[in-house]
Amino acid sequence: MAAVRKSVGHDVDVLEDGVIERPYGWVFFVQTRDYIETKDPELAAYGAGGTLVERISGRLFSFGSCFSIEENLHIYEAGYLTYECSDLVVRAVFDLEEAARLIAELGLTYTSAEVEHGTKWRVPTAYSAAQLINRLRTLPCRFNMGSLYFKWHALDRMKASACLQYEITQSKGEPNAPA
């Protein structure tokens, strides 16, 4: 609890009730000191998804508020928060079109250079189905994905599919390239 207190502002504190305990750690929730003292909903802060403190390492994971606590815990338990920036490494493909469709759900992009009015712009461009299929023909195939937090639904569908074998690794920092 002390680590979470250190990580928040002076006008915020950890709620003593509502702590969620799991074998791997605890989830603490914070609220404004004014709300804790008065219970006045007009003084409450909204939008915090809780902070997980890992039992062994003491690392903190601050969850966003766009997903429920159950979904946030699933994201953590599935290993999608292991790295701040992740790569998808496809090792084998058993159904090329299905694998490309699932990877397309991740919303991965590559950058292309465009010049307009004398300025060079790096423009993010989504992969087409044909580009993904072309990239998947040469294995292993690596895609930089960045944070996995908002990609967990698609990753869960990939995990349930038998159309490809892949691993999630710490990013090498290499940008995605067009196929």
Structural domain contains residue 130: yes
Q: Is the pLDDT of residue 47 over 80?
A: no
Residues 6+ apart with CB under 8 A from 155: 78, 80, 106, 148, 168
Say yes or no: 93 and 147 in one domain. Answer: yes
Instruction: Give the pLDDT confidence score for residue 10 in this predicted structure.
Output: 76
Evaluate whether residue 178 is within a structural domain: no
Query: Do 159 and 94 sit in the same domain of this protein?
Result: yes
The last residue of a domain, from among 77, 94, 120? 77
Classify residue 177: in a domain, yes or no: no
- Could you tell me if residue 107 is inside a domain? yes
* pLDDT tens-digit map of 50-108: 999 999 999 999 998 899 999 999 999 999 999 999 999 999 999 999 999 999 999 99
Does 140 have pLDDT greater than 80? yes
Domain boundary among 47, 77, 107: 77
pLDDT value at residue 70: 96
For residues 37 and 100, state if they share a domain.
Answer: no
68 and 94 housed in the same domain: no
User: Is residue 56 one of the residues assigned to a domain?
Assistant: yes
What is the share, in percent, of the chain residues with pLDDT greater than 90? 69
Domain that holds residue 66: 2-77
Structural domains of the chain, count: 2
Whole-angstrom Cα distance, residue 161 to residue 96? 12
Of 18, 53, 77, at which residue does a domain stop?
77
Q: Which two tokens stand for residue 83?
A: 């790295």
pTM of the model: 0.85
